[in-house]
Amino acid sequence: MIPLHGRAAWIGYGVVALAILFIVGPTAWIFLNSIKYQIAIYSGAWVFEPTLDNYIDVLFSRRSDLVHNLWNSFVVAGLSTVAVLVVGSLGAYGVHRWFRSRLFAKLLMGWVLIFHMIPVITLVGPWYLFFQSLGLYNTLLALVLTHITINLPMTMWIMLTYFNEVPTELREAATIDGCGDFTTFRRIILPLVGPGLVSSGILSFVFSWNEFAIALNLTARDTATVPVAIARFAQQFEIQHAQMAASSMIAIVPALLLMVFGQRFIVRGLTTGAVK
């Protein structure tokens, strides 16, 4: 008979294996469809002749704008991430430095958290009218501004947790040495919270890269991002499953590389301050 702790371990292994199957299974299915001909996808063939024509089609054919859409996604995700890190780190440090343990700080961060919980789709309509009135509809700037808005609360919370972990004696020593608040922030505090910046930046970039609802409503063909471009392979009279799968696999690569290389920073950023 297997001991109780042994059965618990096997149950844990089974749960982990099931979770891996749910995560890897759909990705593997999409990859297989990306190297199939369309007729093989329609027939549901398990044995098929692999091809790279779908990747060549979405990357190099004149009817595909995927390369341009990838560039749009890089611009929007990159600019919004940089802006989020600058504004979020300054805002979190301001709360930590001047409003720590005060009612105003709790109310402010509570409002930030509540705003982060609002479904993005409820903001799309007002943003559409707002940017259209300003002449910014169908521009990358509108997407950058909206992505800053939706990713800023998360960044402020992560960075505030890191700032709270920095010993106050370091700031006091810098002040005694003649450093002002901004100099202390830039030369002393900011290097110590580097992992927080990395984890916040990776999460902001990935969330911006994968964002669909806002981009669908605020862009046209020239300014569409990758998620919108993938969805457009589903047309009125035809669904190009093979091209859609190939585009999806290409779109996964940047976010996957960031998550793989920055995994330890992300885990540290989400768990810092959890145990005292």
- Residue 268: per-residue pLDDT: 61
Both tokens of residue 26?
């759909």
Q: Is 54 within 8 Å of 34 (Cβ atoms)? A: yes
| pLDDT band, very low/low/confident/very high, at 224 (cuts 50, 70, 90) | very high
For the entire predicted model, the pTM comes to: 0.86
Q: Give the pLDDT confidence score for residue 272 in this predicted structure.
A: 54
Burial-class residue 181 by CB neighbours within 10 Å (0-12, 13-18, 19+): middle
* Mean pLDDT of the region 39-49: 85
Assess contact for 84 and 144: CB atoms under 8 A. Answer: no
Q: What CATH number labels 54-271? A: 1.10.3720.10
Backbone angles phi, psi at 137, to 5 degrees: -65, 145
Q: Which residue has the higher pLDDT, 275 or 235?
A: 235
CA 84 to chain centre: 12
Mean pLDDT, residues 8-18 taken together: 82
> For the residues of 15-45, what is the DSSP string, one character each?
HHHHHHHHHHHHHHHHHHHHTS-HHHHHHT-
Most confidently modeled of 26-40, 104-118, 259-273?
26-40
**Nearest CA to 233 among 244, 225, 224?**
244
Percent of the chain with pLDDT over 70: 92
Q: How many CA atoms lie within 13 A of 179 on its CB side?
A: 16
Tell me the C-alpha distance between 96 and 265, whole Å. Answer: 21
pLDDT at 80: 96
Identify the residue with better confidence: 80 or 271.
80
Residue pLDDT, tens place only, 55-90: 999 999 888 889 999 999 999 999 999 999 999 999
For the chain, give every domain's residue range. 4-50, 54-271
Q: What pLDDT, on the 0 to 100 scale, is given for residue 274?
A: 47
Residue with tokens 């844990």: 12
SS3 content of the chain, % helix, strand, coil (to 5): 75, 0, 20
- CA distance linking residue 13 with residue 90, whole number of Å: 43
Lowest-confidence region among 60-74, 176-190, 242-256: 176-190
Give 177's pLDDT tier (boundaries 50, 70, 90).
confident
Segment holding 95, helix H or strand E: helix 66-98
Q: Compute the half-sphere exposure of residue 16: CA atoms within 13 Å on the CB side of its CA.
A: 6
Q: How far apart are CA 224 and CA 65, in angstroms?
A: 9
